[in-house]
Amino acid sequence: MTDVSRRLCRDRCGGFTYLGLMFLMLFMGIALALTGEVWHTVSQREKEKQLLFIGDEFRAAIGSYYEASPGPAKTYPQRLEDLVEDPRFPSIRRYLRKIYVDPMTGKAQWDLLKIPGSGIVGVRSFSADRPLKVANFDLPDDGFARKQHYSEWVFSYASAASAADTPPAVNATDAAGSSQSAASTPLDTTVANAVAAGAASPGVPSATVQGDPRGNCSAMLALDTDECSRIASWLGAARGAQCEAAAQSRYSACIASNGTQVPRGSAALQE
């Protein structure tokens, strides 16, 4: 073979080797990308299973706390820590082993569903990520179907206690003497008791309400209305409307208990 032939063969062989390495690197990159995508999907599905399990644990614990209430008036926990150690009893009672970490955020922080004047009735994740699972949920989580964010998966004892999403009841008399009634559920009974008692909303001390009844009762109403908006987004418009009615009754009871009668529907209620 001549020198010219050897040079031509060397150049051609070197070109083919370079091209082969390029294809090999391309195929390896595609394989790694597919492997990463599959791993991410498997990991997210496992986290979804954990979220469903943990959420159900919270729901069951809230229900156990409520049903174990001493005395005739049943109450919900004021803090998640109350589920780990119930402060209402002298001996230790636990409904949860610990405050679970949210698998979607990696933090032991949960968005809490609170009823004005009552306590925590449910939890949900702070994650705004889109779920992979959008169907085939078991009861009582069948309402999670086709949700756009994990934060829409609400684990509520109230929804577990009532299979049908019917308008909840209020059996309470407001300051003007009017009353509302309907079929009662555990959630609604607690709200009604709080309204009937004219309980002050968390964050509004009774002494402050007495010093400036209209201003501070209006502040209480604003806090309650904010919570009612959250309840409407979590549990539906019917429960949101019932909560709004309860908030208005609490406002009237607050004004009446401090010596300033304000009829329902007056301009002062809209402050």
pLDDT at residue 87 is higher than 60: yes
pLDDT at residue 64 is higher than 90: yes
Residues recorded for the chain? 271
Residue 215's H or E segment, with its range, is helix 213-235
Q: CA 216 to CA 208: how far, in whole Å?
A: 7
Residue 7 sits at the vertex; the CA angle it makes with 2 and 9, to the nearest 5 degrees, is 95
Per-residue model confidence (pLDDT) at position 127? 95
41-50 burial code (b ≥16 CB/10 A, e <16): eeebeebbee
Question: HEC states along 121-151?
Answer: EEEECCCCCCCCCCCCCCCCCHHHCCCCCHH
Q: How many CA atoms lie within 13 A of 79 on its CB side?
A: 9
Per-residue model confidence (pLDDT) at position 34? 64
pLDDT at residue 66 is higher than 70: yes
Per-residue model confidence (pLDDT) at position 81? 96
Q: Which range among 70-74, 167-171, 261-265 has the greatest average pLDDT?
A: 70-74
Report the candidate in 244, 248, 242, 250 with the shortest Cα–Cα distance to residue 197: 250
Show the tokens assigned to 248: 């208005």
Show the tokens assigned to 219: 């502040």
Which residue pairs, CB below 8 angstroms and at least 24 apart, start in 2-9?
A: none
> What is the four-CA torsion angle of 143, 148, 149, 151, rounded to 10 degrees?
-40
Please list, in sequence order, all residues whose beta carbon lies within 8 angstroms of the beta carbon of residue 234, skipping any fewer than 6 positions away.
113, 122, 124, 154, 156
pLDDT at residue 189 is higher than 50: no
Interval 254-268: pLDDT, tens: 888 775 444 433 333
> What is the four-CA torsion angle of 174, 180, 182, 188, rounded to 10 degrees?
-20
Q: How confident is the model at residue 46 (pLDDT cuts 50, 70, 90)?
A: very high
Interval 50-60: pLDDT, tens: 999 999 999 99
More confident position, 99 or 214: 99
Interval 98-146: pLDDT, tens: 999 999 999 999 999 888 778 899 999 999 999 999 888 987 887 898 8
Q: What proportion of the chain, given as a percentage, has pLDDT over 70?
A: 62
Q: How confident is the model at residue 77 (pLDDT cuts 50, 70, 90)?
A: very high
Q: CA 235 to CA 156: how far, in whole Å?
A: 9
The torsion angles phi and psi of 179, rounded to 5 degrees, stand at -135, 155
The torsion angles phi and psi of 173, rounded to 5 degrees, stand at -105, 125
Q: CA 178 to CA 172: how far, in whole Å?
A: 8
Show the tokens assigned to 75: 């109450």
Per-residue model confidence (pLDDT) at position 207? 32
pLDDT at residue 178 is higher than 50: no
- Mean pLDDT over residues 210-225, rounded? 69
More confident position, 94 or 27: 94
The torsion angles phi and psi of 155, rounded to 5 degrees, stand at -100, 95
Q: Which range among 35-49, 172-186, 191-205, 222-236 has the greatest average pLDDT?
A: 35-49
